[in-house]
Structure 1
Amino acid sequence: MINIQNLSLRAGVKPLLDSANLAIHPGQKIGLVGQNGAGKTTLFRAILGQVTIDAGNLGMPAEWVIGYVEQETDAKQQTVIEYVSFGDELYAKAIASLKKAEAEHNDNAIVAAYDQLDKLHGYAVENQTKQLLYGLGFSEEDFSKSIDAFSGGWQVRLKLARALMQRSDLLLLDEPTNHLDIEAVSWLKQWLKSFDGAVLVISHDRDFLDQVVQGIAHIDNQKINFYQGNFAAFERQRNERLMQQQALHDKQKQQMQHLKTFISRFKAKASKAKQAQSRVKALERMEMVAAVQASNPFHFEFAEPKSQPDPMLKIENLSFAYPDKPIINEANLTLRSGDRIGLVGVNGSGKTTLLKLIVGELKPVNGKVISARGVKVGYFSQHQLETLRPEWSPLKHLLALEDAPSDQQARDFLGGFGFSNEQCLESIAPFSGGEKARLALAIIVFQEPNLIILDEPTNHLDMETRDALEMALNDYSGALLLVSHDKHLLASIADQYWWVHQGMVELFYGDLDQYLSEQLKRIKQSAEAQKQMEGADDANKSQNKKQQRIENANLRKQLDQLIKADLQRSRKLEKELDKAQGKLGKLHQKMEDSSLYDDANKDELSQCLQQEADCQALIEALEMEWMEVEETIQAKRDEFESGL
């Protein structure tokens, strides 16, 4: 396991972590959360050995392989298949050895290379690569293209796919969903659930964390606090902890006031001077318990629309095509007052193009968009941050709008979006992406639209701002049109979905879970069809390989007999693990009931917590024993292979 003990990290002179502790066990999946700038990415870089540790210890098994998404790549001319499959470094080395042996016409080296590929199950790598690519939204025609043929966002997907191909013991993922559509995010959740290694993932997507992780590491006040369970369990446990902290704080305030009153009354009296002095010391020694702060520093709301024409707009026979690709063909839709529409479809299907046609940034080839009189659109595009003026301050951005507020009104308004008086006057050039996104939202909110169109608004937002945005949108009575890969936000806001696919835009009859289920089924069917098409070719390759090695059926039977008992033990442990994990799941479900935390149920809560701890300990013990049995089986197989 990775053992972080008393770790201290800095970013320049700014302390990020101070005596922080965390343990990451084999196979454990942990979400790393905390406010922007808390040190999450710096911790990743420390694990990778890219930054110097100021104090403490970061212990890691020497044999562990850490997988991560590369920031830059020099392989721009490689094909997609090569680039992603070579994320498996052992496979890449074996292929390199094979190519070298073939170039040198070295028969012995060729046989050795094929042997190495066999041990690595190398003939399955290309198919695994293609399944990864299908899941992340690539088509078969993309596989032979070079990396530099793709835009920046799609190159980020390729880097993620390459990271997932690594034979890693620990996978580090920093906001992996930011450049994915909701369909690819759904697929990634399933992939990570089946991944055998450990995962440490930074994410502000609560639904993603709820589905993937079994623990939350929260960076707060330069410490790392670990919570068992998914993000929902973390919120429940942390709220309980904060409530207890508030109660302790209130009690301590009473004690301190009592001490101060005693000191004030009696410190001047000789007969009480000694007792008063002891209370002064007690007051000095008393550890201050911080009061619970408001859980979210951001709060804003959209004004009630002054008018809501119905229908707000109509799309009639709308068609659009880029020079090399048709996008939308004869779409007919109506957006009515109060509609809350989620726009879904894989990346490249035309969602953003449709929004640009609606707001007039693009002109249709045929058809038209008819807006009702009085429609006022608030539009947040994927590239909204680029429309801000870097040299301007937040205050200047607001004062430059039509119907600009007074200076003080603008400052008060920006304060609701987390901008202090000092920040209101600063140039936004050094602002983070999250701060710029908050400013862009503030500008939209101020203009009081009756139709809000949001295209991936959460890409740069932290959890607190996402929550504030969700609450504001839920309270908004105007019409909404939303594109987002954040399932939690989309499911919370939209009550109907427009599906963009194969040039069509049509109403999807079902909820978001039904839509995603259908898309996952489609991805699996595509991957399975490709697998069947390549089956014959793989069989031929396998046969050629086998002809270069001496098969011995009797030895195979001996091996089966040799590992039979171990395999039986492994299966038994797996059943016990399933049973224990099922029990743990039921406990977590029970602990979701808020009434369990009432004073009357303290004993039952204690029993649940004890059972949870016992269950977790049992699971860890079973996992360790299962791993030992699997290692024994593999060792026997390796010994057999070396004897062939």
Structure 2
Amino acid sequence: MIKVDNLSYSFPQKDLYNNISFTLEEGQHCAFIGTSGSGKSTLVDILMEPEKYMFEGKLEISPDYRIGYVSQFSQLDNTKEITVYDYIGEEFIKLQNEITAICTEMETSSDLEPLLEKYQEALDAFQAIGGDNFESNITKQLTLANLNKHEGLAVSKLSGGEFKLIQVIKEMLTGPDLMIMDEPDVFLDFENLNSLMNLINSYKGTMLVITHNRYLLNHCFNKIIHLENKLLQEFDGRYIDYNFSLLQTKIELQELAAADTEEIKRNEVIINNLRSIATVHTEASRGKSLKARVKIQERLEARRIQAPFVDIKQPAINFVADSIPEETVVLKVKDYSISFEDMLLENVNFEIKSTDKVALIGANGTGKTTLLREIYKTNQESIELAETINTGFLSQIQGEMLHESETILEEFFDLGFKTYDEVKTYLSGYGFDEEVLQQKIEALSGGEKNILQLAKLSAVKTNLLLLDEPTSHLDTYSQLALEKAIENYKGAILMVSHDFYTIINCADYVLIIEDKTIRKMSMRKFRKMIYANHFDKDYLEMEQKKKTIETKIELALKDTDFELAKVLCEELEELIKLL
């Protein structure tokens, strides 16, 4: 349906693609993955409006090809008084009204021919988007997304997550040839995320989805496109199988590299001996032997370079804690209430100790972000922080903690960095190359802005981190690096997150918002609740076993025990078949 052949494209600041190629075939559900800032959203823009871009290579796409699109940046319009039903059916209702108006006009017109032509055009357009059954289709999709009760509700009354689902339904309903979605999962709570999964899996057409969400990646797609280091590779199959293929490749490459390292050492001794001899004896044959050995060495060194999709560098996130006595209560919330039009939270009480890692969870629109922001501002009598507490805050509204009109360099000078080289060295650990330091922050991708916030938090000492959706827009490699940083942090963390994997891997317990109050829940109960509602009963056990085997493989690779790594890989393959 779409064919991209040897496409190359550059911004003034950096090259994005180098002769990349891929195809999208009818009915495929394709996940588009890659590190933050690698150019995924730009490639989507090229697919949708190729005439706006000066790229090299070929893009084959039919001129009458219809593309549906859901942006990662869509905002709820609070002024809209239109109902959910009318918003979703907007295009259908407009054409339906046009057809009715033409029919009414034909009743009194003496010149029917142009009206008949207009009528046929409107009817064709209506049928092309599946208009014949649009009323029942709207109801079916709303039911699938668990939003059927909202059919007559004003759009302005929806939460941000509900509005995102409504947008997805609206675009899907017109039956485009290709449905493109750019991080549709950002900020969705787990119930809405599950609804998005149902919508994706029920869609019969072709789909291209930029996502880093591990839940969607593991449950929705039959093709993977991976963009990394200006290159792209395709994989026909599930994300879990793609990751397994990368692991197999990694074992092969590391085994080859270990053998090459021994050969390089042996060759180095020979080269040094030949150089020593060459300084005394000037025969041409000895010079040729030396050159031949040097060429062999160069080939061995080149072969050691890791494949761009296998050994992807994670950002060096490292939160530094100020020392504080253990068991100190760093945060106490007592009889806290918050309301806007309606009461969100009422008489909430909880406390967090100096090393607690806590996830604050609840449905979209229940007051989680408001509470986190008020803790950071500490302007409420009901919120008490311990003395000498240094608090760090990561906001899901990225412009709140970043000066987007400034350059990256200026942002870190403001933070206290003294020299250009100091900033350059520090940010290189977060994947920012020297050429982007003079770039304005507003030009960065959503993932890059989040990584920049994490870099700022890592540059100062804190006792309490308040993280509002810290994994949003982050690629999976950065998510894993963040989880490791949270685990290693010696201070306290209160984190709003809808990412099931991050909560499971990082939190000591959860604070769950229900019925306008907050109650503490153990991780065992949280896992049981989530898995009972959304997974098969054996899924948790198999997931844990999978993680254990993967850890054993990593340890085997560190010990260069490649035979053990291969045996474990076979065991992992059998488990993946069950998943």
Which amino acid in structure 1 is aligned with residue 339 of structure 2?
A: A
Alignment correspondent of 1:100: 101
1:472 to partner: Cα distance: 0.5
1:212 to partner: Cα distance: 1.9
1:289 to partner: Cα distance: 3.1
1:395 to partner: Cα distance: 6.2
Alignment correspondent of 1:348: 365
Which amino acid in structure 1 is aligned with residue 86 of structure 2?
A: E
CA contact under 8 A between 1:349 and 1:502: conserved in structure 2?
no
Summarize the Cα distance change of 1:362–1:163 in structure 2 as closer, same or farther, 3 Å threshold. farther
| Alpha-carbon displacement from aligned partner over 1:305-351 (angstroms, at most 9, x marks no partner) | 411453333332222222x2221112222323433221111211111
CA contact under 8 A between 1:85 and 1:129: conserved in structure 2?
no
1:520 to partner: Cα distance: 7.3
Match for residue 208 of structure 2 among 200, 209, 227: 200
Rounded Cα–Cα distance in structure 2 between residues aligned with 1:420 and 1:13: 10
CA contact under 8 A between 1:263 and 1:277: conserved in structure 2?
no
Larger relative contact order (Cα-Cα within 8 Å, sequence gap ≥ 6): 2
CA contact under 8 A between 2:218 and 2:238: conserved in structure 1?
yes
Match for residue 137 of structure 2 among 114, 119, 125: 125
Rounded Cα–Cα distance in structure 2 between residues aligned with 1:335 and 1:271: 76
1:455 to partner: Cα distance: 0.9
Match for residue 487 of structure 1 among 468, 483, 500: 500
Which stretch shows the higher mean deviation, 215-224 or 50-59? Answer: 50-59
Rounded Cα–Cα distance in structure 2 between residues aligned with 1:99 and 1:60: 35
Summarize the Cα distance change of 1:190–1:11 in structure 2 as closer, same or farther, 3 Å threshold. same
Alignment correspondent of 2:112: none
Match for residue 394 of structure 2 among 380, 386, 390: 380
Match for residue 166 of structure 1 among 168, 171, 174: 174
Summarize the Cα distance change of 1:188–1:592 in structure 2 as closer, same or farther, 3 Å threshold. farther
Q: Does residue 177 in structure 1 map to residue 177 in structure 2?
A: no
CA contact under 8 A between 2:144 and 2:195: conserved in structure 1?
no
SS at match of 2:371: helix
Summarize the Cα distance change of 1:59–1:497 in structure 2 as closer, same or farther, 3 Å threshold. same
Which amino acid in structure 2 is aligned with residue 348 of structure 1?
A: G
Alignment correspondent of 2:43: 43
Q: Does residue 448 in structure 1 map to residue 461 in structure 2?
A: yes
Alignment correspondent of 2:518: 505
Alignment correspondent of 2:303: 289
CA contact under 8 A between 1:132 and 1:161: conserved in structure 2?
no
Which amino acid in structure 2 is aligned with residue 28 of structure 1?
A: Q
CA contact under 8 A between 2:160 and 2:364: conserved in structure 1?
no
Summarize the Cα distance change of 1:362–1:382 in structure 2 as closer, same or farther, 3 Å threshold. farther
Q: Does residue 477 in structure 1 map to residue 490 in structure 2?
A: yes
Which amino acid in structure 2 is aligned with residue 195 of structure 1?
A: Y
Q: How does 1:426-445 map to 2 (within 5 A)?
A: 428=441, 430-445=443-458
TM-score by length of 2: 0.74
Which amino acid in structure 2 is aligned with residue 82 of structure 1?
A: D
SS at match of 2:512: strand
1:498 to partner: Cα distance: 1.8
Summarize the Cα distance change of 1:119–1:76 in structure 2 as closer, same or farther, 3 Å threshold. closer
| Alpha-carbon displacement from aligned partner over 1:339-382 (angstroms, at most 9, x marks no partner) | 32211112111111222333345647xxx223334443222232
SS at match of 2:50: coil
Which amino acid in structure 1 is aligned with residue 203 of structure 2?
A: F
Rounded Cα–Cα distance in structure 1 between residues aligned with 2:434 and 2:14: 22
Q: Does residue 81 in structure 1 map to residue 85 in structure 2?
A: yes
Alignment correspondent of 2:349: 332
Rounded Cα–Cα distance in structure 2 between residues aligned with 1:30 and 1:250: 35
Structure 2 unaligned runs (5+)?
A: 109-115, 536-541
Rounded Cα–Cα distance in structure 1 between residues aligned with 2:68 and 2:505: 33
Summarize the Cα distance change of 1:76–1:289 in structure 2 as closer, same or farther, 3 Å threshold. farther
Rounded Cα–Cα distance in structure 2 between residues aligned with 1:275 and 1:443: 54
Alignment correspondent of 1:317: 335
1:473 to partner: Cα distance: 0.2
Which amino acid in structure 1 is aligned with residue 28 of structure 2?
A: Q
Alignment correspondent of 1:567: none
Rounded Cα–Cα distance in structure 2 between residues aligned with 1:282 and 1:409: 38
SS at match of 1:312: strand
Alignment correspondent of 2:27: 27
| Alpha-carbon displacement from aligned partner over 1:276-329 (angstroms, at most 9, x marks no partner) | 77778888999933623863242132234411453333332222222x222111
Q: Does residue 190 in structure 1 map to residue 204 in structure 2?
A: no
Rounded Cα–Cα distance in structure 2 between residues aligned with 1:507 and 1:216: 39
CA contact under 8 A between 2:465 and 2:493: conserved in structure 1?
yes
1:436 to partner: Cα distance: 3.6
Q: Does residue 69 in structure 1 map to residue 73 in structure 2?
A: no
Which amino acid in structure 2 is aligned with residue 206 of structure 1?
A: R
SS at match of 1:18: strand
1:238 to partner: Cα distance: 2.1
1:426 to partner: Cα distance: 6.9
Which amino acid in structure 2 is aligned with residue 385 of structure 1?
A: G
Summarize the Cα distance change of 1:436–1:16 in structure 2 as closer, same or farther, 3 Å threshold. closer
1:271 to partner: Cα distance: 5.1
1:247 to partner: Cα distance: 4.7
Let me know the Cα RMSD of the aligned residues: 4.9
**Structure of higher CA gyration radius:** 1
Alignment correspondent of 1:370: 384
CA contact under 8 A between 2:145 and 2:198: conserved in structure 1?
no
Alignment correspondent of 1:145: 154
Identical amino acids, percent of aligned pairs: 25
Rounded Cα–Cα distance in structure 2 between residues aligned with 1:499 and 1:48: 41
CA contact under 8 A between 2:408 and 2:440: conserved in structure 1?
yes
1:188 to partner: Cα distance: 1.0
Q: How does 1:182-261 map to 2 (within 5 A)?
A: 182-248=190-256, 254=263
Rounded Cα–Cα distance in structure 1 between residues aligned with 2:37 and 2:377: 37
Summarize the Cα distance change of 1:4–1:395 in structure 2 as closer, same or farther, 3 Å threshold. closer
Which stretch shows the higher mean deviation, 206-215 or 600-609? Answer: 600-609
Rounded Cα–Cα distance in structure 1 between residues aligned with 2:286 and 2:484: 56
Structure 1 unaligned runs (5+)?
A: 522-584, 616-644
Summarize the Cα distance change of 1:166–1:331 in structure 2 as closer, same or farther, 3 Å threshold. same
Alignment correspondent of 1:359: 376
Q: How does 1:542-561 map to 2 (within 5 A)?
A: none
CA contact under 8 A between 1:246 and 1:291: conserved in structure 2?
no
1:434 to partner: Cα distance: 3.6
